[in-house]
Structure 1
């Protein structure tokens, strides 16, 4: 950009919200995550729109479409909750006009004052939206004003000495990084009451004395009807004023957000809806939705139904829960009698957080600003593919901004989404047929629907960091946190490794297009075999070839005929001769890239991690797997 006019000095500036990661990770419900993301976009857009209007700001990074900032800044917050299209990055750099450096300090001070005003606006909207019952709650006697805004803007500016955008951007980025690292942190001695169960940092709302909080406030609050119904908070949940306001702000949107139970079950539910015997159960769950039940989608899980029945005090709701349980038993009995139907009798209890980030994108953008325009295109591609709630793979976008994004999805969709996003990114930056060497890394956290969402987001961030620790980055880490809290992971660069794992999952879960499948015992048996081998021998080609031959023999024993999910009948073509059996084995072995997968100069432990992940994803998915061995196909020639 050529600096225009001489009325005021021109300054290069960079501003950003902090702390972004901590604020996003303070989430126990999907509503918390969506509200946090929407608030950050609203705060950023409002601040930038102010600079644009009052100080003639021009933004180098990110570039905004005409009226984009105005649309977000002046939108009703409900609209931002409902549409992920309004996600924008939480930092911006560019030029602005100011009289002098003292004026710059006033500008940054004004921006933080405006954040407080926006936080007050959210509080006022929450109080107004719930005024019919809010004054009768013990909770709101301690919520007469909003807490301090949980985020702040930090910024830096220097007078521009050149017309070169890239040079100015490089200088201001260095200054911003220094400011971010050295910002002061105010001490907080704390109060002798329980901490917020969501952020784990601030004190829970209520009296300041521990005895009063436990004996009086908590007991009375737990007996209020809206808490009993877990409409806004759980009965045993303690939230600080900040997390409470964020939670209530999410209810300014009337459309229901998908809960973790709902997202976990999306792929399974799409299949189940095609089964006639499922419709009675679905109708019973639809009926309880009309009774203001807190999480009706959790009722596809037998353990949840039984827990709700044991805890429910409302006789009408309890009766409907028992009706749902009976319908579920009938459906379960039907599914169990039809082993060729592709899905289990209930959804997977696991779902995934997918978090991605471009590798060294700041440097790439500063080297060529056209790369930023490509990031805008990439974001639009992701929104188009996964932004609609009724997309066939069940994903839900919570944040997309440039090269960064965060999605939730059913466990069954993890590989399709991850591999597609990486392909979208490569296609965006390699559209001219040349390798741009601009890459993307991703971290995925697979977690149980009843475990805290915030912990899963942190695990996804750790997985992303692990992927970026690979040489040249450009990788994917999938970490799994089991229902019992154990964690394991697998890491590799994009490419053949993850394609093999994806293909193996498809063959075991019966989702490949071929007419045969692998039993889940294949992954267990190969993993066990690899773990029995000495690490020190993997450098020898003869050793690797012997390993490959043994694994191929295991594969022969574990390949089976595949059921036809559409008709529920066995495929009539049986492998009753060695020619057909060999064709099946060769096709599957090629799809697994077995000749390369099991002869790599990797330690057996690395491949064992991949097999452990394969077995878990297949065992815990909503698709049926088989356990047996096909001796006919496994026969030696």
Structure 2
């Protein structure tokens, strides 16, 4: 019996992942979808897969395989059963966890749960026989057929649900009971700090968060924890504190333990993962340590006197000297973090080129192996504690601000090295207490903008400043690689004043494009704003920046000035 080519996919993907208010929601949404895809791949048979080459990393939601023609129906049946079994395990884990917290449930609650936890995805697949060993013809036929099926298939939005909507999707009814038909009152009761064991790290109290069944699966299923956006923003800072002021950190930690003792914790403990700092990164920010903040956000009635002691101990960390430069203090943690989205460039075209080769099936498989090697390497570049998704040619991660661009460059360089293909990245910079879904949307939009740069191999950054304005920059990687890190260091060391970036912005209105006039203006501004002793050479730096300008989209001087403003922003840890 001859083989058939199968392409299998399912949806929704982005919308399911984007239903997130916390990093943990984002991580679990991605993890669930990856496990569903992995189950589908195993049901198809790993030895049958062309893409991905294996299932060692996060499985992509598109699978390509060569399968016996007479087994198509049985394999698809196995795929559906395997995916449903994985989903049901997550659902059952969440329900058991909810029962451990003694949450009130009844027939009304159960009806919502059963309705909303039915398999939520739609499956799309197509096959074609590989006649006369013509892999190219089969692949082209299946791809075109699948595209047509996806375009023509109507999405069943289902019946609109009554009542207050959940906090993650804003579309489905939040869980509630007959005694508490108002979901806000139900969740306020179930998360009341005086009677519940549900920490604020799981669900915000006072009805500020209301979960539907899918949101509850993301929050309550037995899963590995993921760092909060506050912990990510402060991650590099925490390493610096441990290296320079371990005694001060220990004293602050012990003071917090005394304040937030057993039964009065605002965060679930992380003793096993980090005994030196078993708390969320939010407690490294002075603005967290107010009675109002702790009451409103975490339901904690904090004693002002004890809280003042905590603030004093935290202040001692801020004013502790750096070992390599005792005149410089550790200071406060950065308030911004980054979301990085990386994606291979022109992947469809590359597959088309492979199909033209003498042995397209082997070429396609070899390319899948190369992509798999990149996925194997990614965790050594982006540590797993920051990785949301790492599969195929896609990477999604949350990073400390100072890590974002350097690690994005390393990822794209490694992708090029292992696959021979370029990759582009979108980065959103966001305040650690700002909306996660807005930041994720900005990162996705930045990725799309990077893909519009001629020749791609580019990066686009959207910095969502709390002041309200969004700073947007784009560039091919070459210009960033040659200039940006050096600019950040110059601003950080005060070799260039902050005014240089903003005065360059003003000059860009008069000299809008790169060239001799722009280089002369840059030289004048560098001379004016550099440190006379340690500052850069005006002629050399103006030449480098002018060359970068001429390579930017539209040879835009304003685009360069925005990159300078971003460099200054990162140098100050997100300082406005």
TM range (shorter): 0.7 to 0.9
Contact kept in structure 1, 2:163 and 2:182, CA below 8 Å: yes
Give the equivalent residue in structure 2 for 1:92.
63
Cα distance in 2 for partners of 1:378, 1:219 equals 46
Cα distance in 2 for partners of 1:449, 1:215 equals 25
Cα distance in 2 for partners of 1:460, 1:419 equals 16
Pick from 45, 51, 59 the counterpart of residue 61 of structure 1.
51
For 1:330-479, what aligned pairs fall within 5 Å after superposition?
A: 330-333=316-319, 345-366=331-352, 367=354, 368-369=363-364, 370-389=366-385, 396-430=386-420, 438-479=421-462
Give the equivalent residue in structure 2 for 1:239.
211
Pick from 94, 109, 115 the counterpart of residue 83 of structure 2.
115
Greater Cα offset, 469-478 or 292-301: 292-301
How far the C-alpha of 1:417 sits from its partner, in A, is 0.6
SS in 2 for 1:39: helix
Greater Cα offset, 127-136 or 33-42: 127-136
Unaligned runs of 5+ in 2: 268-278, 355-362
Cα distance in 1 for partners of 2:134, 2:306 equals 69
Give the equivalent residue in structure 2 for 1:299.
283
SS in 2 for 1:273: helix
Cα distance in 2 for partners of 1:299, 1:333 equals 16
Greater Cα offset, 352-361 or 269-278: 269-278
Contact kept in structure 2, 1:226 and 1:232, CA below 8 Å: no
Contact kept in structure 1, 2:9 and 2:61, CA below 8 Å: yes
After superposition, the Cα gap between the structure-2 partners of 1:49 and 1:585, relative to the gap in structure 1 and judged at 3 Å, is closer
Give the equivalent residue in structure 1 for 2:463.
480
How far the C-alpha of 1:197 sits from its partner, in A, is 1.9
SS in 2 for 1:232: coil
How far the C-alpha of 1:352 sits from its partner, in A, is 0.5
1:230 aligns with 2:213: no
After superposition, what is the alpha-carbon deviation per residue over 1:373-427, rounded to whole angstroms, capped at 9, x for unaligned?
22111111212222344xxxxxx11111121111110001112111111221222
After superposition, the Cα gap between the structure-2 partners of 1:201 and 1:457, relative to the gap in structure 1 and judged at 3 Å, is same
1:617 aligns with 2:570: yes
Cα distance in 2 for partners of 1:492, 1:240 equals 41
Give the equivalent residue in structure 2 for 1:324.
310
Contact kept in structure 2, 1:520 and 1:615, CA below 8 Å: yes
How far the C-alpha of 1:314 sits from its partner, in A, is 4.9
After superposition, what is the alpha-carbon deviation per residue over 1:354-374, rounded to whole angstroms, capped at 9, x for unaligned?
001101213313514232222
Contact kept in structure 2, 1:524 and 1:615, CA below 8 Å: no
How far the C-alpha of 1:160 sits from its partner, in A, is 2.4
How far the C-alpha of 1:319 sits from its partner, in A, is 6.5
Cα distance in 1 for partners of 2:85, 2:154 equals 23
Greater Cα offset, 190-199 or 276-285: 276-285
Pick from 525, 531, 556 the counterpart of residue 551 of structure 1.
525
Pick from 491, 495, 503 the counterpart of residue 474 of structure 2.
491
How far the C-alpha of 1:179 sits from its partner, in A, is 1.9
After superposition, the Cα gap between the structure-2 partners of 1:142 and 1:339, relative to the gap in structure 1 and judged at 3 Å, is farther
Contact kept in structure 1, 2:109 and 2:177, CA below 8 Å: no
Cα distance in 2 for partners of 1:313, 1:464 equals 38
Pick from 7, 12, 18 the counterpart of residue 5 of structure 2.
12
After superposition, the Cα gap between the structure-2 partners of 1:180 and 1:498, relative to the gap in structure 1 and judged at 3 Å, is farther
For 1:535-546, what aligned pairs fall within 5 Å after superposition?
A: 535=512, 538=513, 541-546=515-520
1:593 aligns with 2:544: yes
After superposition, the Cα gap between the structure-2 partners of 1:275 and 1:140, relative to the gap in structure 1 and judged at 3 Å, is farther
Cα distance in 1 for partners of 2:258, 2:435 equals 28
Cα distance in 2 for partners of 1:463, 1:31 equals 22
Give the equivalent residue in structure 1 for 2:293.
308
After superposition, the Cα gap between the structure-2 partners of 1:141 and 1:484, relative to the gap in structure 1 and judged at 3 Å, is farther
How far the C-alpha of 1:245 sits from its partner, in A, is 1.2
Contact kept in structure 2, 1:445 and 1:479, CA below 8 Å: yes
Larger radius of gyration: 1
Give the equivalent residue in structure 2 for 1:507.
490
RMSD, matched Cα: 3.4
Cα distance in 1 for partners of 2:184, 2:441 equals 34
How far the C-alpha of 1:18 sits from its partner, in A, is 0.8
SS in 2 for 1:593: helix
How far the C-alpha of 1:342 sits from its partner, in A, is 5.1
1:178 aligns with 2:148: yes
After superposition, what is the alpha-carbon deviation per residue over 1:301-339, rounded to whole angstroms, capped at 9, x for unaligned?
111222434546655787654432221234445569x99
Give the equivalent residue in structure 2 for 1:127.
95
Cα distance in 2 for partners of 1:530, 1:340 equals 40
After superposition, the Cα gap between the structure-2 partners of 1:219 and 1:315, relative to the gap in structure 1 and judged at 3 Å, is closer
Contact kept in structure 2, 1:365 and 1:372, CA below 8 Å: no
Contact kept in structure 1, 2:336 and 2:431, CA below 8 Å: yes
1:37 aligns with 2:30: yes
Cα distance in 2 for partners of 1:262, 1:387 equals 14
Cα distance in 2 for partners of 1:526, 1:132 equals 59
Pick from 486, 496, 499 the counterpart of residue 521 of structure 1.
499
How far the C-alpha of 1:107 sits from its partner, in A, is 4.9
How far the C-alpha of 1:227 sits from its partner, in A, is 7.4
How far the C-alpha of 1:167 sits from its partner, in A, is 3.6
Cα distance in 2 for partners of 1:213, 1:190 equals 17
TM-score, with structure 1 as normaliser: 0.76
TM-score, with structure 2 as normaliser: 0.84
How far the C-alpha of 1:218 sits from its partner, in A, is 4.5
Contact kept in structure 1, 2:69 and 2:129, CA below 8 Å: no
After superposition, the Cα gap between the structure-2 partners of 1:587 and 1:134, relative to the gap in structure 1 and judged at 3 Å, is farther
Cα distance in 2 for partners of 1:293, 1:165 equals 58
Cα distance in 2 for partners of 1:231, 1:594 equals 46
